[in-house]
Amino acid sequence: MLKKTALVISLVCFSLSVKAVTVDELVKKNIQARGGLKNMLAIKSVKMTGKITSGPMEMPMTLYWSRPGKLRMEMSLQGQNIVQAFDGKIGWMIMPMMGSSEPQKMPKDELDEIKTQAEEMIEGPLVDYKKKGHQVELLGKEDMQGTETYKLRIKLKSGKERTYYLDVDSGIDLKTTEKIKRQGIEVVQHSYLGDYQKVGGVMVPHTIDTKGADGHGAQITIEKVEINPKLKADLYTLPKKQEVKKEKTEKKKTK
Amino acid sequence: MISKARMSLAILPWWFCIAACSHTPEPSLTRPADLVQKSEHAGRPTTTLPRALETKIKIDPASFGAVEARAIGPAVMGGRIMSIAVHPDDPKEFYVGTASGGLWRTTNGGANFRPIFDEHNQSIGALAVDPKNPKVLWVGTGERCPRNSVTVGDGLYKSRDGGENWARVGFENSERIAKIVINPRNPDEVYVGVLGHLWDDHPERGVYRTRDGGKSWERLLYVDQATGCIDLEMDPKNPNILYAAMWQHRRSPDFFKSGGPGSGLYRSVNAGKSWKKMQHGLPEGDLGRIGIAVAPSNPKRVYAVVEAEKTALYRSDDRGGRWLRLDSSFNTIVRPFYFSEILVDPKQPDRIYKLGMLLTVSQDGGESFSSPFTGGAGIGNVHPDMHAIWINPENPDEILLGTDGGVYRSFDRGNNWFFLNSMPLAQFYHVSVDNARPYNVYGGLQDNGSWMGPSRSISGIENKDWKTVGMGDGFHVYADPTDPDVVYCEYQGGNLLRYHHSTQETKEIRPYPEQGEPKYRFNWDTALHLSPTRPGSLYVGAQYLFRSADKGENWIRLSDDLTTNDPDKQRQEESGGLTIDNSTAENHCTIVAIAESRMDGDVIWVGTDDGNLQVTRDDGKSWTNVVSNVPGLPKGTWVTGVEAGRFHPAQAFAVFDGHRTGDKNLYVYRTDDYGQSWTSLATDQIEGYARVIRQDLVNPHLLFLGTEFGLYITVDGGRQWARMTGKFPKVAVHDIVIHPRDADLVVGTHGRGVLVLDDITPLRHLTAEMLEKDVAFLPARPSVIKVPGSEQAFNGDDAYVGDNPTSSATITYYLKKRHIFGKLHLELYDPDGNLIKKLPGSRRRGINRVSWQMRKKPPKVPPSPQLAAMGLFGPIVTPGVYSVKLIKGDTEYQGKVELVLDPDSPYSREDRLLQQETVWKLYNMQEELGFLDKTATSLRDQARGLSAEQNIEVELGTRLRQFADKLEKLHAEMVETQEGLLTNEQKLRRKIIDLYGAVSNYGGRPTGSQLQRVKVLSAELNDASKQLHGYLEDLKDLNAMLLKNKLDVMKRLDREEYQRQTDAGASMPGGISMRRYGRMIRFW
């Protein structure tokens, strides 16, 4: 009985210590740690260069982003460019290694992903989460690879669920777990964020390790982040078929 | 930084020196060269034993960081299955609860399974899926078939999200939960049949119910402290009617008793408020285990297998009012304590499945049974010993069956079966290794024989890689270190065997009593031990210790009876209770642990199951029982393991285990004086009773402890322990062996097969001094450079593949704290000091490991719509010591990584050098071609652009276009230009890349044809170059004309600038998934 009482007390204490921090306080701390909302909103466009490494493979990568929620990502493979882009409505890609340099529409799963990525690029879903219709729940503290974190569960308006692990000391994001759809089947993806460096007043993770449930994954390394660069207006738009060839040669010219 | 590194070497603890001079079979790879060198100055070990330095740093599972276990299976034989539960609406999603290998889930009909309970107790007694909300799972831990080797559970768990998160909801001390029944009309109402303790009296038993989803429980049926609930059934039409089987049973180390006045079959008609013991027609006298089944299609029909003096199947046609005695054939009455499950076909009340040693089926309501297997008799191709069954309620032809050897599935009512053998559930008793390259792992399994399998195989370690070397229940298995043809193994009760690879014959080699000697007593898990100082000699323990120097042909006895020889503990012939069950499982007063000191072969330690710990210092002439010197150890506690100290003959470690008498405390001790005194190494960081302890071969303070709940490691001689959690489930660890050459820790788990911790060198160096540094490189074993092999196999997703060790070099470092802010990356420099690679770092607290593929950058090849896969990989680097720079914020740390040649490489140095030279020649040709092509296409594009300028002179425009056309033609001769995947277009680009690939893929001398081909292609490349340079003659003229026209001149590509432009390779499938990884890029 004594033991039981002790257990009950410790449980109560545990939940009290967790309850001591509210979701809103944590969200505030997190936004502060990332540089504050003002600095985030001052970012109108971004160009990021880096590489994606997976085992022996390495792909140089460039990402362009502009408000509101437009995104273009290029990866290079044996001198050929893989392009994925989203103009706010249409998601498209060019996959030369699949035997064609014609732009194609993105499959729905991927469209959902790139749309979410484009929308959440700078502020992320925690900023104004209530307004955005997301639900955030604090699950408690958890040891994440030996570092104490707050575990938040966020239910996005779209119905998707994610778990965030925020560093207890700094409030910054250390890990995200989300379920993404592949061929209609849900798979778990973990992202570990690190090497935060301040760019334009905002903390940007310069390394992102991603791991699937099977342990396989890739490492994204950001080498350079440019804030508010001048970007071509049609960067995100689906090229018309005739324009594809022209665009290719033009690109080569600029190289 | 470098001078600091030297300094730390100078103050290395002295035990490193002892470690370095002590003999291991092949010391080459285990320790850094500087340590070995130092050993020359070290003498024989002194009698003073080292003490570990103390550290204030807390050591916890995260301290081991990226050190992770590698599961190698085997899955070929499965393991004991206790329960199967299926999604109510989607039968391709189901759960498998195992006896000691955790809980597994498939969402694809068994194409593959994932473990979903690895952080919790691995013994699953009962499982239930909420019929209304299938995301809600209930798991009762502690298996219900209480054989001698059974483990203990720790309560009932519930998940609300399909097994992602779990909460324990009660019964922490119950040890065993037999059944969970959910009221289908109100899933918050759950009944739990708690079987309870096996070895002692305990009140947490009986039938319990919650009405609030597990928040609170009330006990509905209780008999006494020795009787638990073994089966529980609910009337499918009326949830107020419940049937409960209560079972009185008890085990002790030397005895089992099933049955007693507590047992009985009960019924409640008011949802458990009151119960009535059913007797009408059931046997009189004591009952044993009872299995119940209600016919879903006719709930009046109830069946029960009742263990009694005359065990039989009974049937009631009035919901248990009156019972009729029916079948009592072999499979109905066999081993009732182990098998009493029955199930009625969902649609036919007369069709019953009886699980036993076999599967038998009655089609006449229990009057008679026969085997469903094709042919009508025998055991078919299914592992005997059945414990779990599920029949698809919508399609009763479909059956899932859980046995002692895994899960099977039938689509024809059990006539023919698929084996779902992709779960590594092997229940090892012991493991050992040999010195082959790659080394093999040997071991014996509960009810699944003796096996050997490689630690590495071509495409991962598959079921086909394992070879059976012995039958029955397997225990110790050893390769004879002096004879590659011979493997020693055994089956239960001391049946010792010598297996020969060459003939696949097995010779029985057990010692028999001499005339006048008493009968030899051998344990179920008879101790077998290879002598470390007398190569090829083998020990076996009965109540006496024996040794053979001639492969078991003859044995010498080295002792008198080393056990207590207590006649009260030698009752195995009467063991079993109502049903005699003398399987040797209760053999007692026997030797169960043997350890000869490798420092002094005359020192031998022996532990017995009845609690004696004996040591001889004169090769068996005299023995001392030192167990009474062990403080805090209850008398008669089973000795689970003795480890002779690796650094001093007076040192030893011993672990004891009293769980078979209900004492689940941890007993771990060390002696430094031949057992005169003992120090406890137990701390409250360790969970579970102890099974095995091992001392490292290099660092005497690095100890590995296997308990019922996982693997524990100490780096300071036992002051602080932490559980290994990196891909290491909370599974019982029964044996541990350290590979002397490769420094791998090979762990035999009882439920999850073999788990390997590759290269424990970093753990050897995780000293107090290291732990207190913010950042420190840790030594790792040298990485072997090897041209990868290949195999064509498309085995489907249901084929188990154990992981291979990494083929990359591993850079290892320690971080005191997680790195969050600022950059952290690695730079690699070749032995000449050239920067060859930048690698992203790993940033976690504790040990970090970063892989490097040991390849240079892939060649820069000309762009083409045709992917050239062979050109995606750079050449393999040459052996040597590469330096590593860790850049963390503004600080740099210096480390190194050593690459060595594959010691098995059959190629001469000359041939290897020719191969490398040829690879590099082709590499440079690709780069040269890339530059030529880029020069051509860049000028082509410039010329085309300018020719389209307005107001350009007609002649200049025409000349520019001609110039561009010539370059385009040359480009098309050098590079494939067609789109589409299978064009097989072969231009110079493809020819060079393919030859580069072909020569790279073989570590030896290229063929004469290949060498000739290099010359031919080189000449072609030369021609292309000449051609281009010819065209470039025009450039001067054209530029002069352009200048005249006030237009931009055309610029030739600069080689240096070309090389600077980044490019790299990725394979096509990688390209696809990598483009999805890009989705993770963001600011938060």
Instruction: Flag if A57 and B63 touch (Cβ within 8 Å).
Output: no
B466-474 average pLDDT score: 96
pLDDT, tens only, A204-243? 999 999 987 777 788 999 999 999 999 998 999 999 865 5
Q: What is the pLDDT of residues B406-454, one digit of tens each?
A: 999 999 999 999 999 999 999 999 999 999 999 999 999 999 999 999 9
Q: What is the DSSP letter of B750?
A: B
Count of CB atoms situated within 10 Å of the CB of B360: 25
Give the mean pLDDT of B65-88.
Answer: 96
Which has the closest alpha carbon to B642: B676, B602, B671, B685?
B671
Determine contact, residues B994/B866, Cβ cutoff 8 Å: no
Give the pLDDT score at B670. 98
* Nearest residue to B126 (alpha-carbon basis) of B240, B232, B262: B232
Q: Is A61 on the interface with B (CB under 8 A)?
A: yes
Q: Is pLDDT of B349 > 70?
A: yes
Arithmetic mean of pLDDT, B366-380: 75
Report chain B residues whose CB lies below 8 A from the CB of A84: 1075, 1078
- Locate the chain B residue with the closest alpha carbon to A127: B1084
Question: Is the predicted pLDDT of residue B730 greater than 50, yes or no?
Answer: yes
Length, in residues, of chain A: 255
* Residue pair B349/B297 in contact by the 8 Å Cβ criterion: yes
Tokens 């408020």 map to which residue?
A: B273
Q: How far is CA B837 from CA A58, B369, B829, B855, in A?
A: 12, 70, 7, 9
Within an 8 Å CB–CB cutoff, is residue B945 touching chain A?
yes
Give the model's pLDDT for residue B858. 87
B1026–chain A nearest CA distance, Å: 24
**Which of residues 963 through 1022 in chain B touch A, CB cutoff 8 A?**
979-981
Q: What does the H/E/C string look like for B673-698?
A: CCCCCCEECCCCCCCCCEEEEEECCC
Strand partners, A76: A81
Residue B931 touches partner A, C-beta closer than 8 Å: no
B1071 interface with A at CB cutoff 8 Å: yes
Tell me what the mean pLDDT of segment B824-833 comes to.
95
Kindly report the nearest CA distance between residue B117 and chain A, in angstroms: 14
**Contact assignment for A60 to B1074 by CB distance below 8 Å:** no
Mean pLDDT over A69-79 rounds to: 89
Q: What does the pLDDT average to over B669-687?
A: 98
* Record: contact A52-B820, CB cut-off 8 A: no
- Say if the Cβ atoms of A77 and B1066 lie within 8 Å: yes
Are A64 and A121 a contacting pair, CB within 8 Å?
no
Chain B residues inside the 8 Å CB shell of A197: 821-823
Q: Which of B641, B643, B617 is nearest to B689 (CA)?
A: B641
Could you identify the residue written with the tokens 């967790």?
A18
A31/B contact by beta carbon, under 8 A? no
Encode pLDDT of A139-191 as tens digits: 999 999 999 999 999 999 988 899 999 999 999 999 999 987 776 777 888 99
Section B708-712 average pLDDT: 98
Closest CA to A125 of A217, A249, A23, A234: A23
Q: Tell me the average pLDDT of chain B.
A: 92
Q: Tell me the per-residue pLDDT of B911-962, one tens digit each, with 9 for 90 and over.
A: 999 999 999 999 999 999 999 999 999 999 999 999 988 888 889 999 999 9
Q: Report the C-alpha gap between A93 and A103 in whole angstroms.
A: 5
Quote the pLDDT of residue B48.
55
SS (H, E, C) A3-14: HHHHHHHHHHHH
DSSP class of residue A250 equals H
B1065–A110 C-beta distance less than 8 A? no
Interface of B with A in 827-846 (CB under 8 A): 839-841, 843-846
Q: Which of B554, B446, B494, B392 is nearest to B147 (CA)?
A: B446
Please check whether residue B863 touches A, CB under 8 A: yes
Residue B9 clears pLDDT 70, i.e. is over it: no
B966-975 burial by CB neighbour count: b if 16+ within 10 A, else e? bbbebbebbb
Q: Report residue A56's pLDDT band, with 50, 70 and 90 as the boundaries.
A: confident
Q: Which residues of B touch A249 (CB under 8 A)?
A: 941, 944
pLDDT at residue B980, rounded to an integer: 74
Residue A27 touches partner B, C-beta closer than 8 Å: no
* B1076 Cβ under 8 Å from any chain A Cβ: yes
What residues of chain A lie within 8 A of the CB of B1080, using their CB?
189, 191, 208, 210, 220
What band does B979 get if pLDDT is binned at 50, 70 and 90? confident
Query: How many alpha carbons lie under 13 Å from residue A144 in its C-beta half-sphere?
Result: 26
**pLDDT tens figures, B1020-1060:** 999 999 999 999 998 999 999 999 888 999 999 999 888 87
> Does the pLDDT at position B15 exceed 70?
no
Across the interface, whether the CB atoms of B845 and A145 are under 8 A apart is answered yes
pLDDT, tens only, A8-30? 444 433 444 445 789 999 999 99
pLDDT at A251: 45
- pLDDT exceeds 50 at position B740: yes
Q: How far apart are CA B865 and CA A78, in angstroms?
A: 9
Which tens digits make up the pLDDT trace of B471-522?
999 999 999 999 999 999 999 999 999 999 999 999 999 999 999 999 999 9
pLDDT at B20: 35
Q: Mind listing the pLDDT tens digit for each residue in B553-609?
A: 999 999 999 999 999 999 999 999 999 999 999 999 999 999 999 999 999 999 999
Of B65, B863, B1077, the CB nearest to A79: B863
Residue B260 scores a pLDDT above 80: yes
Contact B1031, B967 (CB under 8 A): yes
- Which distant-in-sequence residues (6+ apart) come within 8 Å of B930 by Cβ? B859, B860, B861, B862, B1058
Mean pLDDT within B356-362: 94
Residues of B in contact with A75 (CB under 8 A): 1066, 1071, 1074-1075, 1078
Task: Identify the helix (H) or strand (E) that includes residue A198.
Answer: strand A185-199
> With an 8 Å Cβ cutoff, is A252 touching chain B?
yes
- Taking CA atoms, what residue in A is nearest to B838? A221
> Measured between CB atoms, does B285 come within 8 Å of chain A?
no
Q: How many angstroms from the chain centroid is the CA of residue B242?
A: 41
CB contact under 8 A, A54 and B1073: yes
Q: Which of A83-87, B148-152, B804-808, B949-953 has the lowest mean pLDDT?
A: B949-953
- Model ipTM value: 0.86
From the list A80, A110, A124, the residue facing B1082 with the nearest CB is A124
**How many helices and strands in chain A, by DSSP H and E?**
5, 13
Whether residue B22 has pLDDT greater than 50: no
Contacts of B425 (CB under 8 A, 6+ apart): B75, B78, B79, B80, B81, B98, B101, B406, B751, B752, B753
Q: Report the side by side order of strands in the sheet with B495-500.
A: B478-479, B486-491, B495-500, B506-508
State the Cα–Cα distance between residues A58 and B611, nearest whole angstrom: 60
Q: Which residue has the higher pLDDT, B38 or B406?
A: B406
Inter-axis angle of helices B954-974 and B909-947, nearest 10:
160
DSSP letters along B116-165, please? S-TTS-S-EEEEEE-SS-TT-EEEEES-S---TT------EEEESSTTSS
**C-alpha to C-alpha distance for B617 and B619, rounded to whole angstroms:** 6
| CA dist list (Å): B442 to B78, B428, B467, B488, B489 | 16, 10, 10, 10, 9
Question: In angstroms, what separates the C-alpha of B941 from chain A's closest C-alpha?
Answer: 7
Among residues 10-69 of chain B, which lie with CB inside 8 Å of chain A? 60-63, 65
**pLDDT at site A102:** 87
pLDDT of residue B754: 98
A100 touches chain B (CB under 8 A): yes
The pLDDT-based confidence of B1019 (bands split at 50, 70, 90) is very high
Quote the pLDDT of residue B19.
Answer: 36
Chain B residues whose beta carbon lies within 8 Å of the beta carbon of residue A119:
none
A62 and chain B: CB distance < 8 Å anywhere?
no
